[in-house]
Amino acid sequence: MIISPPLSIKTTVTILLSTTPALARVIDGKAISAQVLDEVREEVLVLAGQQIYPALAVLLVGEDPASEVYVRNKLLRAKDVGIRSLEYRLPETASQAQVLELIAQLNADATVNGILVQLPLPVHIDEGAVIHAIDPIKDVDGFHRENVGGLVQGIEVLTPCTPSGCMRLLHETCGDLSGLHAVVIGRSNIVGKPMATLLLQANCSVSVVHSRSVDAPALCRLADIVVAAVGRPKLIDASWLKPGAVVIDVGINRITDEGGNHLVGDVDYASARTVARAITPVPGGVGPMTIAYLLKNTLIASQLQRAAQAR
């Protein structure tokens, strides 16, 4: 009897690998800002029960179209959360003395908790003089030198709205930031410097990249967190990023290309999404957070003023 060897059975398994890289999660600034506004609204209701009504005064000098839009949005959001808003308009020809006189009146008005001067001001007015004329405890933009110094020292002060909003986005996305390496691109007084300070306070290792930095992309590739605030459209692309980095794009740049006239950030969004773990879009990322934290600062200002009066 002839016994045939067993048949050899080969099974071929084909594994299909996608050539499309996973895209970064979108950090929804609109949704998170809505949470912040809900928090503010709840606190305003509590204060109303105590016969306390926070108020924000907004001063606009001239008729800059972009400033008109910003002021209108701020006033609408204030009304939505129950903060009393006061709008003051001066003509383009208003003198610096007239602006300073109005600020002095608002400083002296105990019913006004926050003062916001919409920038930019006309060229004949010294922005620094106007900003530093605002009572630091009513400076809801957080630009006064006393607030800037207090922030560096870790004292409770009014903090610039955009960096504060960025920090909320990062905490919502990453949780505890301790030990992470953050790179801030840009060193402006409004965003870059206070952003770096807040990240230090959150126990990050922080690097600031600017126009004089040597091999900026290489420095950024070391970062777990990248905050772009440099004002150059689509400067940062995938080649600047470490895989898995979290990207906060503060830039708002209006460009015209084959797709027409539209807003873009400092980050090349389509490119960066192929490498980053999470990223903010433009628009719809950092922008809504800035207004939300302006109103949160108005509440904080109200609390600081009551504490000062109690002392």
The catalytic residues are: 74, 118, 141
Partners of 225 in beta bridges? 182, 246
Q: Which two tokens stand for residue 68?
A: 């008109």
- 44: phi then psi, degrees, rounded to nearest 5: -65, -40
3-state secondary structure of 226: strand
Q: Is 52 annotated as a binding residue?
A: no
The residues, ordered by sequence, that sit 6+ positions from 236 with a Cβ below 8 Å of its Cβ are 185, 220, 226, 228, 247, 266, 267, 268, 272
Least Cα distance to 122 among 88, 94, 150, 85 occurs for 94
CA dist list (Å): 13 to 10, 16, 169, 206, 263: 10, 10, 44, 48, 47
Q: Is 29 annotated as a binding residue?
A: no
Q: Answer yes or no: are the C-beta atoms of 192 and 231 closer than 8 Å.
A: no
Q: Is 4 annotated as a binding residue?
A: no
Q: Which two tokens stand for residue 219?
A: 């420095």
CB atoms within 10 A of CB 23: 13
Q: Is 188 annotated as a binding residue?
A: yes
- Residue ranges of the annotated binding site are 186-188, 252
- Residue ranges of the annotated binding site for NADP(+) are 186-188, 252
